[in-house]
Amino acid sequence: MGEWVQSINFPGLEFVWPSLLWLLAIVPIAIAVYQFARRGERSNLGSILAGMLVIVGLAAMLAAIARPKLQINLPSRADQLMVVLDISGSMSADDVNPTRLDAAKAKLKDMIAAQPGGTRIGLVTTAATATLIQPSTTEHEAINEALDTITIQTGSALGSGILIGLSELLPSAGIDVQALMNDSMRQDPLDNQPSWRPDPNVTKPPGSNRSQAMVLISDGGSNMGPDIMQMAELASQFGVRIHTIGIGTREGAVVKAEGISQRVQLESGVLADIADITLGSYYEGASGSDLSQIFEAIEASVTFDRRQTMEVSALMLLAGVLLLLAGMGTKLWRQGRIL
């Protein structure tokens, strides 16, 4: 009998002492004794209701002895912003004072200061490779501290930055990052179809994800890694909007790397296309009002994805006592006796 009792399972409900559930056998015994004692009496709706309250109350009190634990889903905010920051060599250009990268850091810090308190923000940097610098967090000072350590690196792979940011933003989407990264190393220029595509059952209409978004801060230059427009299309398939902020000027500036001088200009067309594909917005320079618009576009929503186990012995005992008293009170009021 002990094994049978311990096998009793209620969805979301567990017991610290499941072996004590055998006490519930008292309930049918009590019912049988009561029926025998009151045999021959006519029952009406009131007495039946009172009896049910007493039975359920007694069962709850006995179950409380086994110390029930309930798994509950706690609410959490779902609004989340993933920032992708370009740290390629062209971001060292000084056509924006003091440099494009320094200006981008300043814009990003303004953005963090302007955001709502509960918004989770993550940070990805991208040059020849993309790196998750800070997973999504509400501890925004951690992002500011990370920004102070970021320096210019060689190469420019904006597509990689979008891909890494998207996989962090949507961890349950099952994005095959490695397969998409390997696509960029194919030798056949005519084979430009991605080797991995999202499951149609998890895709969403473009721009429909109103609680998560991405911000790409860059001068638009990209010369390696996954195709940037394909990655923008991937974000669009998950309903994620990419808001792009262009840093630099159309005239550009000359930068020197490894003994080679080259004029680099703001490639606003690339950034505008990314925003257009994902139904985001393109901002050139990004003023304070622009930053506010980005956050206003991210709607605060609530999900119930945090599970916590809580013992409910006291609540079940209280409920049992109240039901028992209610049943007895009904019996007393209608028939002048409590049983």
pLDDT of residue 40: 61
Give the residue ranges of DSSP H helices in the chain: 2-6, 26-37, 45-64, 100-114, 140-147, 158-169, 177-183, 228-237, 268-278, 288-296, 313-335
Say which range, 73-77, 153-157, 194-198, has the weakest mean pLDDT. Answer: 73-77
Higher pLDDT, 123 or 334: 123
d(CA 95, CA 249): 6
Q: Residue 202 — very low, low, confident or very high, per pLDDT cuts 50/70/90? A: confident
Mean pLDDT to the nearest integer, 113-128: 86
Say which range, 125-134, 234-243, 284-293, has the weakest mean pLDDT. Answer: 284-293
Whether 135 shows a pLDDT value over 90: the answer reads yes
| Neighbour tally for 48: CB within 10 Å | 10
Whether 302 shows a pLDDT value over 50: the answer reads no
Three-state DSSP at 34 gives helix
Whether 307 shows a pLDDT value over 80: the answer reads no
Whether 181 shows a pLDDT value over 60: the answer reads yes
User: For the chain, what percent of residues have pLDDT higher than 70?
Assistant: 79
Whether 289 shows a pLDDT value over 80: the answer reads no
Q: What is the enclosing helix (H) or strand (E) of 263?
A: strand 260-264
pLDDT in tens, 20-50: 888 888 888 877 777 766 666 666 666 677 7
Higher pLDDT, 206 or 3: 206
Q: Residue 15 — very low, low, confident or very high, per pLDDT cuts 50/70/90? A: confident
Say which range, 112-126, 131-145, 283-297, has the weakest mean pLDDT. Answer: 283-297
pLDDT of residue 64: 85
pLDDT of residue 7: 46
Report yes or no: 197 and 131 within 8 Å, Cβ to Cβ.
Answer: no
Whether 272 shows a pLDDT value over 90: the answer reads yes
